């Protein structure tokens, strides 16, 4: 069978797929809800993402996956804080871990830090994306900067063209160039954490002007949780790929 052309931004609603053979298929940035896979056989399958109410042979595996990930690294539980002290501790943990990861990356040849492993973001692209996340959810949503971007920021792969948001995916800046922006964003988030109050955590924020995100009454604490999640998960991906490099 000839390889199929890449299919992007297709919506398959109410489909019934029978006797399909999915071999060497890659699905990225996709969304599945209310779907059923019946009588399937899966071997040598790797799935990464977020799971909720995912049932395999009558067993909801999402809690099992969460428990195992938390067992492997107890600090992971701290990435869902509920009070000021917890947010400050979580931010300190991820920053300390990233410091170690960056030092590990510096031991590799500079060119390899712009190299992709298995089609994933390079190390430098990962840092660029974290800079984007900090700008979006703290710079814009919390601090109210309508356009907090750097030309080196990197949105998610499926992001549409948005006014004034950089989309220089093919850029190959040096590690030090990206880290200069990174330090600014880390300082920005740290300043928010330093003066954070319980009242703020219980409040909401709205940004309705041009740009992204454009959301009304979004929980303040969710902005910070998004940043923590991005920092935690992407560091794990970076460590995985540095080992391969």
How high is the pLDDT of residue 122?
95
Fold classification of 77-244 is 1.20.120
Domain ranges of the chain: 77-244
- Could you give the C-alpha distances from 211 to 72, 93, 102, 199, in angstroms and in order? 39, 31, 31, 27
| Mean pLDDT, contiguous 10-residue spans, the chain (245 residues) | 63 75 76 80 82 87 90 96 98 98 95 90 96 97 95 84 72 94 98 98 95 94 98 96 91
Secondary structure of the chain in HEC code, one letter for each residue: CCCCCCCCCCCCCCCCCCCCCCCCCCCCCCCCCCCCCCCCCCCCCCCCCCCCCCEECCEECHHHHHHHHHHHCHHHHHHCCCCHHHHHHHHHHHHHHHHHHHHHHHCCCHHHHHCCCCCCCCHHHHHHHHHHHHHHHHHHCCCCCCCCCCCCCCCCCCCCCCCCCCCCCCCCCCHHHHHHHHHHHHHHHHHHHHCCCHHHHCCEEEECCCCCCCEEEEEHHHHHHHHHHHHHHHHHHHHHHHHHC
pLDDT of residue 9: 63
pLDDT recorded at residue 8: 66
- pLDDT at position 94 is 98
**Per-residue pLDDT at 4:** 63
């Amino acid at each position: 069978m000839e390889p199929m052309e890449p299919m992007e931004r297709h919506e398959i609603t109410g489909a019934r797929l029978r006797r399909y053979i999915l071999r060497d298929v890659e699905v990225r940035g996709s969304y599945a809800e209310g779907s059923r896979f019946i009588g399937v056989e899966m071997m040598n399958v790797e799935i990464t993402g977020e799971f909720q109410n995912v049932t395999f042979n009558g067993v909801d595996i999402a809690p099992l996956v969460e428990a195992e990930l938390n067992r492997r690294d107890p600090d992971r539980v701290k990435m869902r804080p509920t009070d000021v002290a917890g947010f400050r501790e979580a931010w300190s943990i991820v920053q300390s871990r990233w410091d170690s990861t960056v030092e590990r990356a510096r031991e590799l040849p500079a060119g390899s830090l712009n190299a992709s492993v298995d089609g994933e973001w390079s190390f430098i692209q990962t840092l660029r994306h974290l800079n984007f996340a900090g700008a979006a959810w703290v710079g814009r949503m919390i601090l109210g900067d309508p356009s907090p971007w750097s030309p080196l920021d990197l949105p998610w792969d499926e992001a549409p063209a948005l006014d004034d948001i950089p989309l220089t995916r093919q850029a190959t800046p040096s590690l030090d160039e990206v880290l200069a922006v990174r330090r600014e964003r880390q300082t920005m988030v740290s300043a928010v954490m330093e003066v954070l109050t319980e009242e703020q955590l219980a409040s909401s924020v709205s940004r309705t002007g041009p740009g992204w995100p454009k959301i009304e009454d979004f929980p303040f604490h969710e902005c910070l949780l998004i940043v923590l999640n991005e920092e935690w998960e992407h560091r794990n991906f970076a460590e995985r790929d540095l080992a391969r490099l």
